[in-house]
Protein backbone atom coordinates (compact mmCIF):
# COMPACT_ATOMS: atom_id res chain seq x y z
CA UNK A 1 0.00 0.00 0.00
CA UNK A 2 1.33 3.42 -0.92
CA UNK A 3 1.87 5.65 2.07
CA UNK A 4 1.93 9.43 2.30
CA UNK A 5 4.40 9.57 5.13
CA UNK A 6 5.49 12.85 6.64
CA UNK A 7 2.45 14.94 5.68
CA UNK A 8 0.15 15.79 8.55
CA UNK A 9 -3.41 16.93 7.92
CA UNK A 10 -2.84 20.68 7.68
CA UNK A 11 -6.56 21.40 7.29
CA UNK A 12 -7.21 19.72 10.64
CA UNK A 13 -4.38 21.74 12.16
CA UNK A 14 -5.88 24.92 10.71
CA UNK A 15 -9.27 24.21 12.30
CA UNK A 16 -7.61 23.65 15.67
CA UNK A 17 -5.61 26.88 15.46
CA UNK A 18 -8.72 28.85 14.48
CA UNK A 19 -10.72 27.52 17.45
CA UNK A 20 -7.84 28.08 19.88
CA UNK A 21 -7.39 31.59 18.50
CA UNK A 22 -11.06 32.38 19.11
CA UNK A 23 -10.72 31.10 22.66
CA UNK A 24 -7.63 33.22 23.26
CA UNK A 25 -9.39 36.38 22.07
CA UNK A 26 -12.51 35.66 24.09
CA UNK A 27 -10.54 34.96 27.28
CA UNK A 28 -9.81 38.67 27.66
CA UNK A 29 -13.07 40.20 26.48
CA UNK A 30 -15.33 37.90 28.47
CA UNK A 31 -13.46 37.88 31.78
CA UNK A 32 -11.67 41.21 32.09
CA UNK A 33 -14.64 42.90 33.80
CA UNK A 34 -14.66 40.14 36.43
CA UNK A 35 -10.98 40.31 37.29
CA UNK A 36 -10.74 44.11 37.21
CA UNK A 37 -13.30 44.39 40.02
CA UNK A 38 -12.25 41.44 42.20
CA UNK A 39 -9.63 41.59 44.92
CA UNK A 40 -8.90 37.85 44.66
CA UNK A 41 -7.67 38.53 41.10
CA UNK A 42 -5.57 41.52 42.30
CA UNK A 43 -7.85 43.79 40.26
CA UNK A 44 -5.92 42.65 37.18
CA UNK A 45 -7.92 42.91 33.93
CA UNK A 46 -5.40 40.58 32.29
CA UNK A 47 -5.56 37.87 34.98
CA UNK A 48 -7.42 35.26 32.89
CA UNK A 49 -5.76 36.45 29.69
CA UNK A 50 -2.26 35.83 31.04
CA UNK A 51 -3.20 32.47 32.50
CA UNK A 52 -4.82 31.42 29.24
CA UNK A 53 -1.69 32.46 27.36
CA UNK A 54 0.44 30.30 29.66
CA UNK A 55 -1.91 27.35 29.19
CA UNK A 56 -1.82 27.76 25.42
CA UNK A 57 1.97 27.62 25.53
CA UNK A 58 1.82 24.41 27.57
CA UNK A 59 -0.81 22.97 25.23
CA UNK A 60 1.29 23.89 22.20
CA UNK A 61 4.27 22.06 23.68
CA UNK A 62 2.12 19.01 24.40
CA UNK A 63 0.73 19.01 20.87
CA UNK A 64 4.20 19.29 19.34
CA UNK A 65 5.31 16.28 21.40
CA UNK A 66 2.17 14.33 20.41
CA UNK A 67 2.78 15.03 16.72
CA UNK A 68 6.46 14.08 16.88
CA UNK A 69 6.35 10.93 19.04
CA UNK A 70 6.49 7.46 17.50
CA UNK A 71 3.39 6.19 19.26
CA UNK A 72 3.66 2.72 17.75
CA UNK A 73 6.56 2.17 20.15
CA UNK A 74 4.49 3.41 23.10
CA UNK A 75 1.37 1.28 22.74
CA UNK A 76 2.54 -0.85 25.64
CA UNK A 77 1.77 2.16 27.85
CA UNK A 78 -1.95 2.32 26.97
CA UNK A 79 -3.12 -0.21 29.56
CA UNK A 80 -1.06 1.23 32.47
CA UNK A 81 -2.22 4.74 31.50
CA UNK A 82 -5.86 3.65 31.53
CA UNK A 83 -5.49 1.85 34.87
CA UNK A 84 -3.79 4.89 36.41
CA UNK A 85 -6.46 7.26 35.08
CA UNK A 86 -9.24 5.07 36.50
CA UNK A 87 -7.50 4.98 39.89
CA UNK A 88 -7.14 8.77 39.84
CA UNK A 89 -10.84 9.10 39.04
CA UNK A 90 -11.79 7.06 42.09
CA UNK A 91 -9.27 8.89 44.30
CA UNK A 92 -10.68 12.23 43.12
CA UNK A 93 -14.23 11.11 43.89
CA UNK A 94 -13.12 10.35 47.46
CA UNK A 95 -10.79 13.25 48.25
CA UNK A 96 -10.75 15.66 45.33
CA UNK A 97 -11.47 19.38 45.28
CA UNK A 98 -15.10 20.39 44.80
CA UNK A 99 -15.81 23.13 42.27
CA UNK A 100 -19.40 24.19 41.54
CA UNK A 101 -20.77 21.01 43.05
CA UNK A 102 -18.49 18.60 41.16
CA UNK A 103 -15.58 16.89 42.91
CA UNK A 104 -13.48 16.53 39.79
CA UNK A 105 -10.10 18.11 40.56
CA UNK A 106 -7.05 16.53 42.17
CA UNK A 107 -3.90 18.64 42.63
CA UNK A 108 -5.17 21.04 39.97
CA UNK A 109 -5.82 18.28 37.42
CA UNK A 110 -9.31 17.54 36.15
CA UNK A 111 -8.94 13.78 36.20
CA UNK A 112 -12.01 13.16 34.03
CA UNK A 113 -10.18 14.72 31.08
CA UNK A 114 -7.24 12.36 31.51
CA UNK A 115 -9.61 9.39 31.78
CA UNK A 116 -11.43 10.39 28.59
CA UNK A 117 -8.11 10.58 26.74
CA UNK A 118 -6.93 7.24 28.13
CA UNK A 119 -10.29 5.54 27.44
CA UNK A 120 -10.02 6.28 23.71
CA UNK A 121 -6.57 4.70 23.52
CA UNK A 122 -7.62 1.70 25.62
CA UNK A 123 -10.71 0.99 23.51
CA UNK A 124 -8.69 1.37 20.30
CA UNK A 125 -6.11 -1.12 21.58
CA UNK A 126 -8.75 -3.59 22.75
CA UNK A 127 -10.85 -3.53 19.57
CA UNK A 128 -8.16 -3.06 16.91
CA UNK A 129 -8.34 -5.78 14.25
CA UNK A 130 -10.99 -7.73 16.17
CA UNK A 131 -14.18 -6.99 14.20
CA UNK A 132 -15.16 -10.68 14.28
CA UNK A 133 -14.74 -10.89 18.06
CA UNK A 134 -16.58 -7.60 18.65
CA UNK A 135 -19.58 -8.85 16.65
CA UNK A 136 -20.16 -11.60 19.21
CA UNK A 137 -20.44 -11.60 23.03
CA UNK A 138 -16.72 -12.27 23.51
CA UNK A 139 -14.03 -11.19 25.92
CA UNK A 140 -13.09 -8.19 23.77
CA UNK A 141 -16.65 -6.86 23.67
CA UNK A 142 -17.17 -7.44 27.38
CA UNK A 143 -13.87 -5.74 28.27
CA UNK A 144 -14.68 -2.73 26.07
CA UNK A 145 -18.14 -2.31 27.57
CA UNK A 146 -16.73 -2.69 31.08
CA UNK A 147 -14.14 0.03 30.40
CA UNK A 148 -16.79 2.50 29.21
CA UNK A 149 -19.05 1.65 32.15
CA UNK A 150 -16.21 1.97 34.68
CA UNK A 151 -15.11 5.42 33.50
CA UNK A 152 -18.69 6.68 33.21
CA UNK A 153 -19.59 5.43 36.69
CA UNK A 154 -16.41 6.88 38.22
CA UNK A 155 -17.14 10.29 36.70
CA UNK A 156 -20.69 10.09 38.05
CA UNK A 157 -19.24 9.44 41.51
CA UNK A 158 -17.59 12.85 41.15
CA UNK A 159 -21.11 14.25 40.67
CA UNK A 160 -20.21 15.43 37.17
CA UNK A 161 -23.17 13.99 35.28
CA UNK A 162 -22.65 16.08 32.15
CA UNK A 163 -19.12 14.76 31.65
CA UNK A 164 -20.32 11.24 32.43
CA UNK A 165 -22.94 11.46 29.68
CA UNK A 166 -20.39 12.84 27.19
CA UNK A 167 -17.75 10.20 28.01
CA UNK A 168 -20.33 7.42 27.86
CA UNK A 169 -21.59 8.67 24.49
CA UNK A 170 -18.06 8.86 23.13
CA UNK A 171 -17.24 5.34 24.31
CA UNK A 172 -20.40 3.86 22.82
CA UNK A 173 -19.72 5.63 19.52
CA UNK A 174 -16.30 3.99 19.44
CA UNK A 175 -17.81 0.58 20.14
CA UNK A 176 -20.21 1.04 17.25
CA UNK A 177 -17.32 2.02 14.97
CA UNK A 178 -15.42 -1.05 16.19
CA UNK A 179 -18.18 -3.39 14.99
CA UNK A 180 -19.82 -4.16 18.35
CA UNK A 181 -22.74 -6.59 18.39
CA UNK A 182 -25.80 -4.40 17.83
CA UNK A 183 -28.04 -6.27 20.25
CA UNK A 184 -25.49 -6.05 23.06
CA UNK A 185 -24.71 -2.44 22.15
CA UNK A 186 -28.38 -1.41 22.17
CA UNK A 187 -29.02 -3.21 25.46
CA UNK A 188 -26.01 -1.47 27.01
CA UNK A 189 -27.26 1.92 25.81
CA UNK A 190 -30.66 1.21 27.40
CA UNK A 191 -29.05 0.18 30.69
CA UNK A 192 -26.87 3.28 30.66
CA UNK A 193 -29.90 5.47 30.05
CA UNK A 194 -31.69 3.80 32.93
CA UNK A 195 -28.70 4.47 35.17
CA UNK A 196 -28.81 8.17 34.34
CA UNK A 197 -32.55 8.29 35.05
CA UNK A 198 -32.01 6.70 38.48
CA UNK A 199 -29.18 9.15 39.20
CA UNK A 200 -31.37 12.09 38.18
CA UNK A 201 -34.17 10.97 40.47
CA UNK A 202 -31.71 10.78 43.36
CA UNK A 203 -30.23 14.26 42.78
CA UNK A 204 -32.57 17.28 43.13
CA UNK A 205 -30.33 19.59 41.09
CA UNK A 206 -30.27 17.12 38.19
CA UNK A 207 -34.06 16.85 38.26
CA UNK A 208 -34.25 20.65 38.30
CA UNK A 209 -32.07 20.83 35.20
CA UNK A 210 -34.20 18.27 33.38
CA UNK A 211 -37.39 20.10 34.40
CA UNK A 212 -35.92 23.40 33.30
CA UNK A 213 -34.95 21.90 29.96
CA UNK A 214 -38.48 20.57 29.42
CA UNK A 215 -40.04 23.89 30.40
CA UNK A 216 -37.75 25.71 27.98
CA UNK A 217 -38.75 23.45 25.10
CA UNK A 218 -42.46 23.57 25.87
CA UNK A 219 -42.71 27.35 26.44
CA UNK A 220 -39.60 29.30 25.36
CA UNK A 221 -41.35 32.62 25.76
CA UNK A 222 -42.33 31.94 29.33
CA UNK A 223 -38.88 31.20 30.78
CA UNK A 224 -38.51 34.57 32.50
CA UNK A 225 -41.92 34.34 34.15
CA UNK A 226 -41.28 30.75 35.22
CA UNK A 227 -37.90 31.69 36.69
CA UNK A 228 -39.49 34.50 38.69
CA UNK A 229 -41.93 32.11 40.37
CA UNK A 230 -39.56 29.15 40.78
CA UNK A 231 -37.04 28.65 43.56
CA UNK A 232 -33.85 26.78 44.33
CA UNK A 233 -32.13 24.80 41.58
CA UNK A 234 -35.02 25.23 39.12
CA UNK A 235 -34.86 29.01 39.41
CA UNK A 236 -31.11 28.98 38.78
CA UNK A 237 -31.48 26.70 35.77
CA UNK A 238 -34.25 28.75 34.15
CA UNK A 239 -32.40 32.00 34.80
CA UNK A 240 -29.21 30.65 33.22
CA UNK A 241 -30.97 29.51 30.07
CA UNK A 242 -33.01 32.72 29.86
CA UNK A 243 -29.93 34.95 30.05
CA UNK A 244 -28.09 32.74 27.56
CA UNK A 245 -30.91 32.99 25.02
CA UNK A 246 -31.08 36.75 25.55
CA UNK A 247 -27.39 37.00 24.73
CA UNK A 248 -27.72 34.92 21.56
CA UNK A 249 -30.81 36.80 20.44
CA UNK A 250 -29.20 40.19 21.12
CA UNK A 251 -26.40 39.40 18.70
CA UNK A 252 -28.60 39.30 15.62
CA UNK A 253 -26.95 38.40 12.30
CA UNK A 254 -23.65 40.30 12.80
CA UNK A 255 -23.35 40.82 16.56
CA UNK A 256 -22.89 43.86 18.78
CA UNK A 257 -19.11 43.96 18.29
CA UNK A 258 -16.12 42.28 19.91
CA UNK A 259 -15.95 43.15 23.61
CA UNK A 260 -19.33 44.92 23.56
CA UNK A 261 -21.43 42.19 25.19
CA UNK A 262 -23.80 43.36 27.90
CA UNK A 263 -24.91 39.91 29.01
CA UNK A 264 -21.40 39.08 30.20
CA UNK A 265 -21.76 41.73 32.92
CA UNK A 266 -22.81 39.13 35.48
CA UNK A 267 -26.08 38.31 33.67
CA UNK A 268 -24.90 35.17 31.88
CA UNK A 269 -23.35 32.82 34.49
CA UNK A 270 -19.90 31.33 33.85
CA UNK A 271 -19.59 33.48 30.74
CA UNK A 272 -15.92 32.53 30.30
CA UNK A 273 -16.50 28.77 30.54
CA UNK A 274 -19.89 27.02 30.32
CA UNK A 275 -21.78 29.75 28.42
CA UNK A 276 -18.98 31.28 26.38
CA UNK A 277 -20.80 30.39 23.16
CA UNK A 278 -23.65 32.70 24.18
CA UNK A 279 -21.26 35.64 24.49
CA UNK A 280 -19.56 34.74 21.20
CA UNK A 281 -22.95 34.72 19.47
CA UNK A 282 -23.88 38.04 21.09
CA UNK A 283 -20.67 39.78 20.08
CA UNK A 284 -20.20 38.09 16.69
CA UNK A 285 -23.80 37.36 15.81
CA UNK A 286 -25.26 34.44 13.90
CA UNK A 287 -22.38 34.53 11.44
CA UNK A 288 -19.75 33.99 14.15
CA UNK A 289 -21.83 31.32 15.88
CA UNK A 290 -22.24 29.39 12.63
CA UNK A 291 -18.52 29.76 11.91
CA UNK A 292 -17.60 28.17 15.25
CA UNK A 293 -20.09 25.34 14.76
CA UNK A 294 -18.78 24.80 11.21
CA UNK A 295 -15.23 24.50 12.51
CA UNK A 296 -16.24 21.73 14.92
CA UNK A 297 -18.12 19.94 12.13
CA UNK A 298 -15.09 20.35 9.88
CA UNK A 299 -12.80 18.91 12.57
CA UNK A 300 -15.14 15.92 12.93
CA UNK A 301 -15.20 15.40 9.16
CA UNK A 302 -11.42 15.60 8.88
CA UNK A 303 -11.12 13.09 11.70
CA UNK A 304 -13.45 10.59 10.03
CA UNK A 305 -11.85 11.17 6.65
CA UNK A 306 -8.40 10.55 8.10
CA UNK A 307 -9.66 7.43 9.89
CA UNK A 308 -10.94 6.06 6.59
CA UNK A 309 -7.48 6.45 5.06
CA UNK A 310 -5.58 4.66 7.81
CA UNK A 311 -4.59 1.04 7.42
CA UNK A 312 -3.70 0.55 11.10
CA UNK A 313 -6.93 -0.37 12.97
CA UNK A 314 -5.62 1.03 16.27
CA UNK A 315 -4.93 4.43 14.75
CA UNK A 316 -8.21 4.39 12.85
CA UNK A 317 -10.29 3.74 15.97
CA UNK A 318 -8.30 6.24 18.05
CA UNK A 319 -8.92 9.00 15.51
CA UNK A 320 -12.64 8.18 15.43
CA UNK A 321 -12.75 8.28 19.23
CA UNK A 322 -10.85 11.54 19.62
CA UNK A 323 -12.77 13.40 16.93
CA UNK A 324 -16.12 12.07 18.17
CA UNK A 325 -15.32 13.02 21.76
CA UNK A 326 -14.39 16.61 20.87
CA UNK A 327 -17.52 17.02 18.77
CA UNK A 328 -19.82 15.54 21.42
CA UNK A 329 -18.49 17.98 24.02
CA UNK A 330 -18.91 20.90 21.61
CA UNK A 331 -22.40 19.82 20.57
CA UNK A 332 -23.58 19.51 24.17
CA UNK A 333 -22.08 22.87 25.19
CA UNK A 334 -23.65 24.72 22.25
CA UNK A 335 -26.98 22.92 22.74
CA UNK A 336 -27.05 23.95 26.41
CA UNK A 337 -26.44 27.58 25.45
CA UNK A 338 -29.39 27.40 23.02
CA UNK A 339 -31.72 25.65 25.48
CA UNK A 340 -31.68 22.41 23.50
CA UNK A 341 -30.03 20.27 26.20
CA UNK A 342 -30.17 20.25 30.02
CA UNK A 343 -27.56 22.46 31.70
CA UNK A 344 -24.43 20.36 32.22
CA UNK A 345 -21.38 22.53 32.89
CA UNK A 346 -19.30 21.11 30.04
CA UNK A 347 -16.67 23.44 28.53
CA UNK A 348 -16.51 24.31 24.84
CA UNK A 349 -13.35 22.57 23.55
CA UNK A 350 -10.40 24.89 22.79
CA UNK A 351 -12.49 28.01 23.55
CA UNK A 352 -13.71 27.88 27.18
CA UNK A 353 -11.24 29.04 29.81
CA UNK A 354 -9.56 26.06 31.43
CA UNK A 355 -6.38 24.05 31.68
CA UNK A 356 -6.94 20.29 31.78
CA UNK A 357 -9.56 20.21 29.03
CA UNK A 358 -7.43 22.36 26.74
CA UNK A 359 -4.28 20.31 27.22
CA UNK A 360 -5.91 16.90 26.69
CA UNK A 361 -8.02 18.06 23.74
CA UNK A 362 -4.91 19.49 22.08
CA UNK A 363 -3.01 16.28 22.86
CA UNK A 364 -5.82 14.32 21.19
CA UNK A 365 -5.61 16.44 18.05
CA UNK A 366 -1.81 16.11 18.17
CA UNK A 367 -2.09 12.32 18.04
CA UNK A 368 -4.66 12.60 15.25
CA UNK A 369 -2.18 14.70 13.29
CA UNK A 370 0.55 12.17 14.11
CA UNK A 371 -1.54 9.30 12.80
CA UNK A 372 -2.57 11.29 9.73
CA UNK A 373 1.01 10.86 8.49
CA UNK A 374 0.25 7.19 7.95
CA UNK A 375 -2.62 7.76 5.54
CA UNK A 376 -2.65 5.42 2.57
CA UNK A 377 -5.06 4.77 -0.26
CA UNK A 378 -7.54 2.79 1.82
CA UNK A 379 -10.85 4.66 2.01
CA UNK A 380 -13.59 4.60 4.60
CA UNK A 381 -15.88 2.71 2.25
CA UNK A 382 -13.37 -0.13 2.08
CA UNK A 383 -13.33 -0.40 5.87
CA UNK A 384 -17.14 -0.37 6.03
CA UNK A 385 -17.32 -2.98 3.28
CA UNK A 386 -14.99 -5.27 5.24
CA UNK A 387 -17.25 -5.06 8.30
CA UNK A 388 -20.30 -5.81 6.14
CA UNK A 389 -18.53 -8.76 4.53
CA UNK A 390 -17.65 -10.09 7.98
CA UNK A 391 -21.27 -9.82 9.09
CA UNK A 392 -22.42 -11.47 5.84
CA UNK A 393 -19.97 -14.30 6.37
CA UNK A 394 -21.33 -14.94 9.86
CA UNK A 395 -24.88 -15.09 8.47
CA UNK A 396 -23.79 -17.59 5.79
CA UNK A 397 -22.05 -19.72 8.42
CA UNK A 398 -25.22 -19.80 10.52
CA UNK A 399 -27.34 -20.82 7.52
CA UNK A 400 -24.86 -23.56 6.65
CA UNK A 401 -24.92 -24.86 10.22
CA UNK A 402 -28.73 -24.96 10.20
CA UNK A 403 -28.72 -26.79 6.87
CA UNK A 404 -26.32 -29.43 8.16
CA UNK A 405 -28.41 -29.83 11.29
CA UNK A 406 -31.55 -30.29 9.14
CA UNK A 407 -29.77 -32.86 6.96
CA UNK A 408 -28.80 -34.95 9.96
CA UNK A 409 -32.43 -35.05 11.09
Please list the pLDDT of the chain residue by residue as tens digits (409 residues).
Answer: 344 456 899 999 999 999 998 888 887 766 665 555 555 555 566 777 778 888 889 999 999 999 999 988 888 999 999 999 999 999 998 887 877 777 887 888 889 999 999 999 999 999 988 878 888 878 888 999 999 999 999 999 888 888 999 999 999 999 999 988 899 999 999 998 898 888 878 888 788 888 888 888 888 778 888 888 887 788 888 888 888 898 898 889 988 888 788 887 767 777 777 888 998 899 889 999 999 999 999 999 999 999 999 989 999 999 999 999 999 999 999 999 998 998 888 889 999 877 889 999 999 999 999 999 988 744 444 445 555 555 555 555 555 555 555 555 5
Is 171 found in the same domain as 32? no
| The domain boundary residue, chosen from 202, 219, 234 | 202
Residue 306 lies in a domain: yes
Is 321 found in the same domain as 284? yes
pLDDT number for residue 377: 46
Predicted TM-score (pTM) of the model is 0.86
| C-beta separation of 236 from 264 below 8 A | no
Residue 150 lies in a domain: yes
Domain coverage including residue 102:
76-202
Is 93 found in the same domain as 184? yes
Is 317 found in the same domain as 224? yes
Measure the CA–CA gap between 193 and 211, rounded to whole angstroms.
17
Is 170 found in the same domain as 114? yes
Residue 98 lies in a domain: yes
Is 119 found in the same domain as 268? no
Residue 402 lies in a domain: no
pLDDT number for residue 95: 84
Is 177 found in the same domain as 300? no
User: What does R_g of the chain's alpha carbons equal in angstroms?
Assistant: 23
Is 233 found in the same domain as 349? yes
Backbone angles phi, psi at 385, to 5 degrees: -65, -35
Is 343 found in the same domain as 213? yes
Is 211 found in the same domain as 105? no
| The domain boundary residue, chosen from 321, 336, 355 | 355
Is 263 found in the same domain as 234? yes
pLDDT number for residue 118: 96
Residue 385 lies in a domain: no
pLDDT number for residue 2: 40
Measure the CA–CA gap between 48 and 264, rounded to whole angstroms.
15
| The domain boundary residue, chosen from 202, 225, 256 | 202
Residue 369 lies in a domain: no
**CA dihedral sign of residues 274, 171, 292, 336:** negative
Is 317 found in the same domain as 306? yes
Amino acid sequence: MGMQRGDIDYLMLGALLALAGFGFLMSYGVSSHLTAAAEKFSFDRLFFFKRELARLLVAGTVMAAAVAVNFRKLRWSVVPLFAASLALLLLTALSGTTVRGSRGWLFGLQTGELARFALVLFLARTMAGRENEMARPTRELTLSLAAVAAVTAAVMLQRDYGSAAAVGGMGMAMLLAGGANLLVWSSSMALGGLGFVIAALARPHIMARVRGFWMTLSDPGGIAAAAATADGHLRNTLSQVHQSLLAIGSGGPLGVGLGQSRQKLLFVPEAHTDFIFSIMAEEGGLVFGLLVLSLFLFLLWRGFRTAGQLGDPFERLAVIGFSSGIFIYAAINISVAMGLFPVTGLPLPFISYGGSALVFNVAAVGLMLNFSRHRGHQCFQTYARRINETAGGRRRDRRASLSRAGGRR
